[in-house]
Amino acid sequence: MEFSDFIAPFDAASFRTQYYGKLPLHIPRNGNSRPSLLPWSRFNAVLAITPYWNEDTLKVYFKSRAALRENYCDTTDLRAGVSAPVNPAKVKALMGLGASLVANHVHRVCPEVGTVANMLEHEFAARVAANVYCSFKGVQAFQTHFDLHDVFAVQAEGEKVWRVYESRADSPVLPLPPGDEIEKWLTESRGHLLFEVHMQPGDILYLPRGQYHDALTGSQASLHVTFGVSPATGLALFKLLENAVTQESAFRAYLPDARRETELRERLGTLAERIKAVMTAPAFAIDVLNHQRDLTRAPANYELPAQTRPSWYSVGRRAHLARRDNGFAVVFDGGEIPVGASYPTVEWILRQRLFSMDDAAARQPSVDRAELRRDLELLTRAGILVETEMQQ
């Protein structure tokens, strides 16, 4: 699936320039032959994968309040640190009273949903989680709220009325605490109604992060899937920066006593200049690229019964990876070989006695296989790696 297929009949390029991260958008199916993403029969089959469902992966809500785990899980003889398994009979009884279900991370156990999640991850260089919401006639599972990520809500079965408000939180990253006071504040701060939409099967509603909204189930039971899209934020740079400068003695050194204000100010100024140099260098851009790639997860594809014969390598010459502001290089007694985004894998390779190509790629799942293969060829030509045979 391509993003253009997913968002049809709306134009993908227009969405990118006019709506993504900016404005909410309702995309009606308009007679498109888009099949139901998750029909009732398929959702029932997914819920039947009982080992997956526990107090963390399945939530039950009644009148906007989360049910206590003992009301829908088995908690007898539960070991410490183990999530309580769901009791389907208890869940069914609560649904009979009008409770709503939230099935979290369905993409892990439903390949159809996982395919869409994986496509969105690659499209937006983001981590994507898919949750399913099941509610019944006239039920409002959640009061007005906003999410900490962008949302693509896909109506799978039934109908749901969504109300989108004009207010939008400023790039939120922390969840609000539950309680009546917070709900009152959200209601008072949501602003005027921006639009109301009756979602039909196949419709998509896009909400940028922080957009205030709520939803009410229509005249029949409703099932919809939300894809939460979470690209990297600037906060991720702090960890990347820490990893980048840890090898520099100036950052490992003790700071001056803060009571010696002039000395401390001078040291902080020096470190700040170095931080700016590191963050604006090509090597750091590679770190950001790798971090964004790591947010996307490769789908499981075992391709059985095919069996790939591995290519084995051993290290033939001593070498080490060097990080410089302008990039990364493998340094050995015969010179240097520049490497790019595959440098974490190359660094791992240089510490091995024997490894296979597939094993190396698995250490950095987001690595570009063509780029890694090119780097291995360069290292092999230099005699740093030696293609070998694995003894059976």
For the stretch 130-174, pLDDT in tens is: 999 999 987 776 789 999 999 999 999 999 999 999 999 999 999
Domains identified in the chain and CATH numbers: 3-231 (2.60.120.650), 236-280 (no CATH), 312-388 (3.90.930.60)
Mean pLDDT estimate for the chain: 93
- pLDDT level of residue 225 (50, 70, 90 thresholds): very high
Share of the chain above pLDDT 90, in %: 80
**304/24 Cα distance (integer angstroms):** 42
**Tokens of residue 43, six digits:** 């959702």
Average pLDDT, integer, range 362-389 = 91
**11/245 Cα distance (integer angstroms):** 43
**281/200 Cα distance (integer angstroms):** 49
**145/130 Cα distance (integer angstroms):** 18
**Tokens of residue 335, six digits:** 């010179």
Q: Identify the pLDDT of residue 141.
A: 62
Overall residue count recorded for the chain in this entry: 392
**Tokens of residue 281, six digits:** 């260098």
Q: Identify the pLDDT of residue 33.
A: 62
**CA 343, 345, 350: angle at the middle one, nearest 5?**
95
For the stretch 274-299, pLDDT in tens is: 999 999 999 999 999 999 999 998 77
For the stretch 326-350, pLDDT in tens is: 999 999 998 999 999 999 999 999 9
Q: Which helix (H) or strand (E) holds 51?
A: none
**267/96 Cα distance (integer angstroms):** 66
